[in-house]
Chain A
Amino acid sequence: MNQPAEFKTRVNYSKTRQARYIAHLDTIDIICKALRRIHLSYAVTQGCHVRPKISFGPPLPLGHASYCEYFVITLLQQPDPEALKTALNRELPQGMEVLSVECPWIDKKSPAVGEQVEYRLHFSSQATADRARSWLLNPESAFQVVRKGETRKYTIGKAVQRADMAEADSGWQLQAEFIQGLADVPSVSKIVTALAEQLGESRDDFYLLERIALKEL
């Protein structure tokens, strides 16, 4: 029997404003429902509980805005990227937006060993931004993470590759590059949570963090 033609398609989307507080699994649920509502013909998994053939990028930590989220879905019809983008954008909650659609999409052959991630950290005060930058750029900066009653110690090490300061319309921003997913390298999520703790009473000056690029290593 002939297999139907399949079209692997990558959909890049952003999560900003209140959508950054939607958890990863809820995001998956929201996207799957949106895909059903636009009558997309997609391939499904075999087995008793049928699911769409879809895979999502690495989970975005709660509270992080992002302009580089994606999922890859196997479609049964060649999509019109612009039409698919427009249709999906009508079906997403406030703060989620499809940025582009790429088809055909060819997955990387080898699995990722880590990620290089670029962030913009927004501050309302220059002094706080300076403090944050110094702390981030010091490989010796140490912090603890308590999880399920267990305390684990980390240092920044090579996690922060760079952090450049720039004045922005609404304050100051640090454009920072991180690596994560490697052994003994703390994740961006852990680092920024620790940074907020370091800032103490000034933490609310650090009011927004946006993931702007992600490259799998």
Chain B
Amino acid sequence: MINVTESITHWELLEIEKPARYLGGEVNQATIKASPDLRVCLVFPDLYDLGMSNLAIKIFYEKLNAHPQIMAERAFSPWSDFEQLLRRKNLPLYSLETGTPLHEFDALLITLPYEMTFTNVLNLLDLGKIDLKWQTRKEGPIVIAGGPSASNPLPMARFMDAVLIGDGEEAILEICETLIRTKKANAERSDVRKELSKIEGMWVPEFTAPVKRRVFKGFAASTPPVKPLLPNVQTIHNRATLEIFRGCIQGCRFCNAGFYYRPKRERPVEDLVEYARQLLQNSGEESLGLLSLSTSDYSHLTELVNALDQQKLYPEQNVSIPSLRMNESTIELLDSTPHIRKGGLTFAPEAGTQRLRNVIKKNISEDDIISVMRATSGSDYRTVKLYFMMGLPFETDADIEGIVDLVRRLEDIGRTCRPRKQISISLSGFVPKPFTPFQWAAQADTAELRRKRLIVCRGLERSGSKVSWREEFLCLLESVLSRGDERVGELILKAWELGCRFDGWHEHFSRSKWEQAFTETGIDAAVYLRERRVEETLPWDFVNFQVPRAYLESEYAEAARAAEEVNNEPAG
């Protein structure tokens, strides 16, 4: 068996930033099976430092390697320096466990966490010496994608033999068992794809049949990964992650994740406390992170946090809760438990006025926001970060000015707090995602987003708050990539050919190359950014998302009504 790492010299590795990213050998790495029936590579199309924090990779790695006939290895996107080294030496991208070239695996299972990784996927396939398109791919691994950004599978369809839509826990084993069966039967690739298409949640571009989003109904009783790989390079989330529930009951109209992960499924407190013990025991991580959407919605959060707080395995252990809703009981909870990590508070009001928060169904009142800020007085929290979106449906300039007013009011309160609070604001253009009530809404163009951003920046010019924002063109691009049809695949391919990589990374993103890709492919972004009529057939309508279209329509209509109702209220 070839081990590619043996072809890279010591001095070449030293020219690479953080070479440990590319060498494996971490604690809790799976034992290498001598002759498994199936060898798969779990691929994360971003840097090791991000991918090693990704929960899906942890779940699949543990689950698949527990299977006696399956060996699952890992590969991440190489940074530009390592890519250049591989290309210069004509070496294939390889797995971290055994240094096996990607093209030698039976299957690649690729997670698509966000649209800005799409060009990285093509780069990984190319570096792995795998034909990019399923139609011309005659040999090498079966390439399967899944994850939140695969929920509309069309933009990446030409590159994938199959796409899993929805939860992967059960499906991944069915996929692998199908691959084992077809491999033993020496089946043709087309027959393999046909067999895969019979699995619930699997969509195979070749057959274009309707598909139903897979829901893992046994989530609450399932065991999360409790023996995670421990990275040899510090990762973006340096903590042990415990998913306490999946799904969300809030129904925010802009949120794709809120619909993608439905329904809400909670793990019981006593199970979570035991999983936390095993997780900390097996990882030695200082911090335990409770993961979910809107963690405050966990039915027994106080009970859970208190139980975790009392179960101390080592002195420096603490709990971190990254996704909390803004209300006073949140602060009470945080203050009452001494071993919660108190770095900064992060909240997402999303919109600056109550009217617009009603429109987007963001269930936070102005009183909640103000009272949380007051409640932080005397607490250890020093920084408060607020996320806002611009370009939301039914938004007016008064809503944007509302962001400025709200931040100004919070600053006034922050000044009276001891220790004094530093407020930072993060602005992002809204992207109307498929399978949400706003899927028919128009994407605000870059000029409009920029104009609105300047209203906020100028309004807060002399304030003490820090304002950061997401480049407007990225929002537009994300919109095209998430709302696209099969033609968008051509755009992604062209952008990759022009050198686009790591589009989510400021230092790599090239607007000019993407604009060139639009021009050269003749793809008009406006086609994908426009407002759609509700009666129009949408490209992704063939996916049964298990959220009725009629419900999304009624929610969109409800948003319009909410916008009108408050607009008609007399001022003051």
Q: What CA separation (Å) do A203 and B29 show in the bound complex? A: 33
Is the CB–CB distance between B23 and A33 below 8 Å?
A: no
Q: Do A29 and B11 contact each other (CB < 8 Å), given the known contacts A36-B314, A93-B27?
A: no
Specify which of B9, B14, B27, B281 is in contact with A92 (CB 8 Å cutoff): B27
Is A21 engaged at the interface, CB distance under 8 Å to the other chain? yes
Is the CB–CB distance between B232 and A37 below 8 Å?
A: no
Is the CB–CB distance between A33 and B284 below 8 Å?
A: yes
A-B contact pairs, 26 of them (CB 8 A): A21-B13, A22-B233, A23-B18, A23-B20, A23-B233, A25-B234, A26-B20, A26-B232, A29-B238, A30-B27, A30-B230, A33-B27, A34-B27, A35-B284, A36-B313, A37-B282, A63-B10, A63-B19, A91-B284, A93-B25, A93-B26, A93-B27, A93-B230, A203-B11, A204-B10, A207-B10
- A43 nearest in chain B by CB position: B315
Interface residues of A (CB under 8 A from B): 17-19, 21-23, 25-26, 29-30, 32-37, 39, 44, 48-52, 62-63, 91-95, 193, 196, 203-204, 206-208
Q: Knowing that A22-B20, A36-B284, A51-B316 are A-B contacts, what are 7 other residue pairs whose CB atoms are under 8 Å apart, sorted by A's residue number? A: A23-B233, A30-B27, A35-B284, A36-B314, A36-B316, A48-B380, A93-B27
Contacts of A52 in B (CB 8 A): 315-316
Within 3-59 of B, Cβ neighbours of A (below 8 Å) are at 5, 9-11, 13-14, 18-20, 23-27, 29
Is the CB–CB distance between A34 and B25 below 8 Å?
A: no
Q: What CA separation (Å) do A81 and B515 show in the bound complex? A: 64
Tell me the smallest distance from the CB of B73 to a CB of chain A, in Å. 15
Is the CB–CB distance between B20 and A63 below 8 Å?
A: no
What is the total of A-B residue contacts with beta carbons within 8 Å?
Answer: 87
Q: What CA separation (Å) do A148 and B329 show in the bound complex? A: 49
Is B445 engaged at the interface, CB distance under 8 Å to the other chain? no
Q: What CA separation (Å) do A206 and B11 show in the bound complex? A: 9
Q: What CA separation (Å) do A92 and B9 show in the bound complex? A: 24
Is the CB–CB distance between B18 and A207 below 8 Å?
A: no
Contacts of A208 in B (CB 8 A): 10
Q: What CA separation (Å) do A23 and B9 show in the bound complex? A: 18
Is B283 engaged at the interface, CB distance under 8 Å to the other chain? yes
Q: What CA separation (Å) do A36 and B316 show in the bound complex? A: 9
Is the CB–CB distance between B314 and A21 below 8 Å?
A: no
Encoded as 1 (CB less than 8 Å from any A CB) or 0, chain B from 379 to 414 comes to 010000000000000000000000000000000000
Contacts of A37 in B (CB 8 A): 281-284
Contacts of B230 in A (CB 8 A): 30, 33, 93
Tell me the smallest distance from the CB of A112 to a CB of chain B, in Å. 27
Is the CB–CB distance between A18 and B25 below 8 Å?
A: yes
Is the CB–CB distance between B284 and A32 below 8 Å?
A: yes
Tell me the smallest distance from the CB of B49 to a CB of chain A, in Å. 11
Is B285 engaged at the interface, CB distance under 8 Å to the other chain? yes
Is the CB–CB distance between B20 and A18 below 8 Å?
A: yes
Q: Do A62 and B9 contact each other (CB < 8 Å), given the known contacts A26-B234, A37-B284?
A: no
Is the CB–CB distance between B316 and A50 below 8 Å?
A: yes
Residue picked from B10, B13, B14, B230, most chain A C-beta under 10 Å: B10
Contacts of A203 in B (CB 8 A): 11
Residue picked from A22, A34, A48, A203, most chain B C-beta under 10 Å: A22
Encoded as 1 (CB less than 8 Å from any A CB) or 0, chain B from 213 to 250 comes to 00000000000000000101110001000000000000
Contacts of B315 in A (CB 8 A): 44, 50, 52
Contacts of A50 in B (CB 8 A): 315-316
Is the CB–CB distance between B313 and A204 below 8 Å?
A: no
- B24 nearest in chain A by CB position: A18
Q: What CA separation (Å) do A37 and B234 show in the bound complex? A: 18
Contacts of A196 in B (CB 8 A): 11
Tell me the smallest distance from the CB of B460 to a CB of chain A, in Å. 31
- B315 nearest in chain A by CB position: A44
Specify which of A26, A36, A62 is in contact with B14 (CB 8 Å cutoff): A62
Contacts of A39 in B (CB 8 A): 313
Contacts of A49 in B (CB 8 A): 316
Q: What CA separation (Å) do A63 and B380 show in the bound complex? A: 41
Tell me the smallest distance from the CB of B279 to a CB of chain A, in Å. 11
Is the CB–CB distance between A22 and B14 below 8 Å?
A: no
Is the CB–CB distance between B10 and A30 below 8 Å?
A: no
- B380 nearest in chain A by CB position: A48
Contacts of A18 in B (CB 8 A): 5, 20, 23-25
Q: What CA separation (Å) do A39 and B9 show in the bound complex? A: 39
Contacts of A21 in B (CB 8 A): 13, 19-20, 23
Tell me the smallest distance from the CB of A23 to a CB of chain B, in Å. 7
Contacts of B313 in A (CB 8 A): 36, 39
Q: Do A95 and B282 contact each other (CB < 8 Å), given the known contacts A21-B19, A63-B10, A207-B9?
A: no
Is the CB–CB distance between B232 and A22 below 8 Å?
A: yes
Encoded as 1 (CB less than 8 Å from any A CB) or 0, chain B from 302 to 328 comes to 000000000001111000000000000
Contacts of A23 in B (CB 8 A): 18, 20, 233
Contacts of A22 in B (CB 8 A): 20, 232-233
Tell me the smallest distance from the CB of B227 to a CB of chain A, in Å. 11
What are the 5 closest A-B residue pairs judged by CB atoms, nearest first?
A33-B284, A94-B25, A36-B284, A18-B23, A37-B284
Q: What CA separation (Å) do A22 and B13 show in the bound complex? A: 12
Is the CB–CB distance between B20 and A91 below 8 Å?
A: no
Tell me the smallest distance from the CB of B116 to a CB of chain A, in Å. 27
Tell me the smallest distance from the CB of A192 to a CB of chain B, in Å. 10
- A193 nearest in chain B by CB position: B14
Tell me the smallest distance from the CB of B61 to a CB of chain A, in Å. 16
- B26 nearest in chain A by CB position: A93
Contacts of B19 in A (CB 8 A): 21, 62-63
Q: Do A63 and B13 contact each other (CB < 8 Å), given the known contacts A18-B20, A23-B20?
A: yes
Contacts of B11 in A (CB 8 A): 196, 203-204, 206
Tell me the smallest distance from the CB of B379 to a CB of chain A, in Å. 13
Contacts of B280 in A (CB 8 A): 36
Contacts of A17 in B (CB 8 A): 25
